[in-house]
Chains A and B, each alone.
With several copies, the nearest count.
Chain A
Amino acid sequence: MSNVITLLYIIAFALFIYGLMGLTGPRTAVRGNWIAATGMGVAIIATLLTPHLSNWLLIILGVALGTLVGIPSARQVKMTAMPQMVALFNGVGGGAVALIAWVEFRDLHGYAGQPAYVPVTSLFAAIIGSLSFWGSLVAYGKLQEILPGRPISVGKYQQPLNFGLLAAAVACAVAIGVGVDSQLLIIGLLVFAAALGLMTVFPIGGADMPVVISLLNACTGLSAAATGLALNNTALIVAGMIVGASGSILTNLMAKAMNRSIPAIVAGGFGGVTVAADSGSVGDKTVRQTSAADAAIQMAYANQVVVVPGYGMAVAQAQHAVREMASLLESRGVEVKYAIHPVAGRMPGHMNVLLAEADVPYEQLREMDDINGEFSRTDVALVIGANDVTNPAAHTNPGSPIYGMPILNVDQARSIIVLKRSMNSGFAGIENELFYDPKTTMLFGDAKSSVNTVSEELKAL
């Protein structure tokens, strides 16, 4: 019997790996996800084949409850709220790890008579699981705007405090390891780890949350692998470790794509705060304002208009209005394309999600590398709530925090219209020379209402 289970586990993790490979390519991703899900089904069935399994009713109760909660929350969540939903799902995974470790401790009476690797892996899982649970809850709260998105910290005491919490949790683990069998110790360990999770994520700004969630995801994976080592379960070891490793790489890729470093993120600050930027030569430059009517005329007689959406379009939920305006332009023979910067918005693929929701034809969405060559042939670049991703300082100012980040070469267009509410800076908190470019005109106001007014003007033309 146990041979059959192991064989099924091997099949299960082969499916996980194969599915994961699929998830890395756009054409195979959907299928990859379902292959991995099939692997999970196989793993669960294999486990239920364990001889002499008891407590069936409770098992069914737990699975039923989880399904009843999981399906509707996944089904009903809005596209733009998905990152925080992932944070929640990740958190409960970590919570499960912590709870299992706790019960293990109780069942094994403080690991008396177990080989050394059992307490080590099990307590590691307990610490990371608890940290991941509470950290994920904070990340959820921030993105869902239940908690304030700005960094909350106790200032310069933050680092020593976090370090102290970690030390306390590890101390509990060591005490348990050397043989002290006390419920207080394991509870203390879980509580210290929980506090560490809270204290680590609170000081991080809302905009850095996608990276933090990815990091916590990798942690939960590692803790699942540790649980697998403690329980001697191949499926847990393989699946957990794969998530741990791939999650670390992914976190790194995400941080790199937005020109941030993981240590800097975890140390807090920046994300959400306006850093004192070296505004350089900006000073006595002037800003040209335009009106919706002028903007409409300019675009109506263009050959090609490239829309550059950014975080502001997401805030204003202007995607449907934009799509409508584009249709009006197209009916006048104007060619409309969308320039999608990889980190425009606040999560990877943010713009794709929004524009897909508004049924913008896929062919009109152009990735950065594709479209950058086209700006010089573009009559009007219409920047809708984008800022950093168009900032030429990334090319020209080595002192800028975004120096080196690839940007959309909006400044090469023949003329540029920028839709935003004020001269405020974006995520990186820095000035944008583009707005002072003689070719640029600004149309101030909420993106959605500005676009709608432009559409009215277009109809009136």
Chain B
Amino acid sequence: MFLANLAILVLAGFIGFAVISKVPNTLHTPLMSGTNAIHGIVLLGGLIVLGTTASGVLDKILLVIAITFGTINVVGGFLVTDRMLGMFKKKPEQKGASTDE
């Protein structure tokens, strides 16, 4: 199981590298913000632990905080990225000017 997970980990790492090869400078900040939202996926970890194994008050408090944090990360992250990207909305008009893909 762990080895299959390790294989998956290595492949995902390569994908991360390969996808971010050439990115225009203006997209650096939105891209950082978008990937930031994606790691909010830890929320799932909070859900699983709270929903299956957690017991005791302290555990539950910690996990509710973790879930709150994770949700903030996800919700806030995607929304703020979208707002940042607002500045690219005007681009399509001058699409013809760009080279063919």
A contacts, CB < 8 Å to B: 3, 6-7, 9-10, 13-14, 16-17, 19-21, 23-27, 29-30, 32-34, 36-37, 40, 43-44, 47-48, 50, 52-56, 58-59, 61-63, 65-67, 69-71, 73-75, 77, 79, 82-83, 85-86, 88-90, 92-93, 95-97, 99-100, 102-104, 106-107, 115, 117, 210, 213-214, 217, 220-221, 223-225, 227-229, 231-250, 253-254, 257, 342-343, 347-349, 352-353, 356, 361-363
**Contact A47:B48 (CB < 8 A) given known A20-B34, A40-B41, A74-B80:** yes
For residue A48, which residues in chain B have a CB less than 8 angstroms away from its CB?
A: 47
A227 touches B42 (CB 8 A): yes
A250: contacting residue among B28, B59, B71, CB under 8 A: B28
B87 to chain A, nearest CB (A): 4
B contacts, CB < 8 Å to A: 1-56, 58-60, 62-95, 98
B51 touches A29 (CB 8 A): no
B18 touches A21 (CB 8 A): yes
B34 touches A32 (CB 8 A): yes
A11 to chain B, nearest CB (A): 9
For residue B90, which residues in chain A have a CB less than 8 angstroms away from its CB?
A: 356, 361-362
A241 touches B44 (CB 8 A): no
Taking CB as reference atom, which chain B residue is nearest A132?
B39
**Contact A74:B45 (CB < 8 A) given known A36-B38, A103-B62:** no
- Give A238 to B73 CA distance when docked, in angstroms: 17
B28 touches A86 (CB 8 A): no
**Contact A349:B60 (CB < 8 A) given known A239-B39, A244-B16:** no
For residue A103, which residues in chain B have a CB less than 8 angstroms away from its CB?
A: 49, 54, 59, 62-63, 66
For residue A242, which residues in chain B have a CB less than 8 angstroms away from its CB?
A: 12-13, 15-16, 19, 35, 38
A224 touches B39 (CB 8 A): yes
B43 to chain A, nearest CB (A): 7
Interface of B: prevailing SS: helix
A287 to chain B, nearest CB (A): 31
A126 to chain B, nearest CB (A): 12
- Give A32 to B40 CA distance when docked, in angstroms: 17
B62 to chain A, nearest CB (A): 5
- Give A347 to B55 CA distance when docked, in angstroms: 44
B89 touches A93 (CB 8 A): no
- Give A238 to B41 CA distance when docked, in angstroms: 10
For residue A52, which residues in chain B have a CB less than 8 angstroms away from its CB?
A: 52
- Give A44 to B95 CA distance when docked, in angstroms: 36
B8 touches A62 (CB 8 A): no
B29 touches A210 (CB 8 A): yes
For residue A13, which residues in chain B have a CB less than 8 angstroms away from its CB?
A: 7, 10-12
- Give A67 to B77 CA distance when docked, in angstroms: 11
| Interchain Cβ contacts under 8 Å between A and B, 16 examples | A6-B3, A16-B38, A23-B34, A32-B34, A47-B44, A62-B66, A66-B74, A85-B80, A86-B29, A89-B33, A93-B39, A96-B46, A103-B66, A231-B45, A342-B25, A352-B87
Taking CB as reference atom, which chain A residue is nearest B13?
A245
- Give A305 to B53 CA distance when docked, in angstroms: 67
For residue A17, which residues in chain B have a CB less than 8 angstroms away from its CB?
A: 14-15, 19
A102 touches B62 (CB 8 A): yes
- Give A351 to B79 CA distance when docked, in angstroms: 21
B76: contacting residue among A73, A221, A244, CB under 8 A: A73
Taking CB as reference atom, which chain A residue is nearest B63?
A103
B83 to chain A, nearest CB (A): 7
A99 touches B65 (CB 8 A): yes
B79 touches A106 (CB 8 A): no
A70 touches B45 (CB 8 A): no
